[in-house]
Amino acid sequence: MAHLLGRRGSSRLFPLRDPLDNTLTDENIGTGDGETTEFQITKTYADADRPYRRPLAIVSNLVVKVGGVTQVETVDFNHEDGWIAFRDDQPPAAGLAITVSCDFLIPVRYEADSNSITLPIGPDTANPFASAGPFVLVERHVPKPELLGPPSVLAISGTPVLEAVEDFAYDGFTVSAVGGVLPYTFTVHSGSLPAGITLNSSTGVVSGTPTTVGTSSGIVIRVTDDVGSTDDLDAFSIEVVAADPYITRYGAKEVRDGLAAVGWNW
């Protein structure tokens, strides 16, 4: 009676463990088609005429397999309220079975807001004793959640400019990233950029004016997303060469414009 009153009769759902029906073992919940990413966890009761697929919303110890291969939660899929969402860029391939193993509870409510209590008096007994019930429970379905699959794999890209001229603006380049979770942070993970050239940690722009002749080798630029995932650009080198005295005297722009005027590209 305390539990019935605590649920305010029929107004509040609560989880119930059926002692005879509470687990799934490699239960098939669908087949991949190369496009679909969301699948509901269900248990099939294979009646000969009308099989019933019972939706399950409260699960624990969840193991998800695609084609027999165990998937990793938050990496390959997300789960909430009995729904599984795979990554948008990695839907289960056509023909592969999606299976789950788990323990489950059933969301139920009381059918009535109150239950009668009887006070029978036993033979030769002066003291009455109470009994209540029976209590009727009604299974309730849980609405589909707004569920997104894990983000696609973080990846960095960019084409470094490998040569620069001392005391002249570096042509520069930009590294960019896709996947993962915004925002991104760009850093020089190993090696170092030539003096005067810098990396913008927010935009990924590499720019500046080199001040020292020489070669900076083993430069690795890394992107880190908001949940700590990383990816590295392939190592590269930047060679800073001394400016040609003619260019130094007349200026790089003037030399470039002069060559262009006679049909040369520089």
Distant-in-sequence, close-in-space partners of 249: CB < 8 Å, separation ≥ 6: none
* 115 pLDDT tier (thresholds 50, 70, 90): confident
Lowest mean pLDDT: which of 97-101, 104-108, 137-141, 158-162? 137-141
Cα–Cα distance for residue pair 157/75, rounded to 1 Å? 22
Mean pLDDT over the full length of the chain:
88
- What sign does the CA torsion over 194, 196, 202, 205 have? negative
DSSP letters, 147-167, are --PPPPPPEEE-----EEETT
The model's pTM: 0.62
Residue 186 scores a pLDDT above 90: yes
d(CA 108, CA 161): 64
What letter represents residue 196's amino acid? G
| CB contact at 8 A, 216 and 193 | yes
Q: What ranges do the domains of the chain cover?
A: 2-139, 155-261
Residue with more model confidence, 62 or 3:
62
Dihedral pair phi/psi, residue 218, rounded to 5°: 65, 35
Residue 253 CA from chain centroid, whole number: 48
Confirm if 244 and 215 have CB atoms less than 8 A apart: no
As its CATH architecture, domain 155-261 has Sandwich (2.60)
Residue % of the chain over a pLDDT of 70: 85
Q: Tell me the mean pLDDT in the region 36-60.
A: 93
- Residue 93 has a pLDDT of 95
pLDDT at 246 over 60: no
State the Cα–Cα distance between residues 150 and 166, nearest whole angstrom.
46
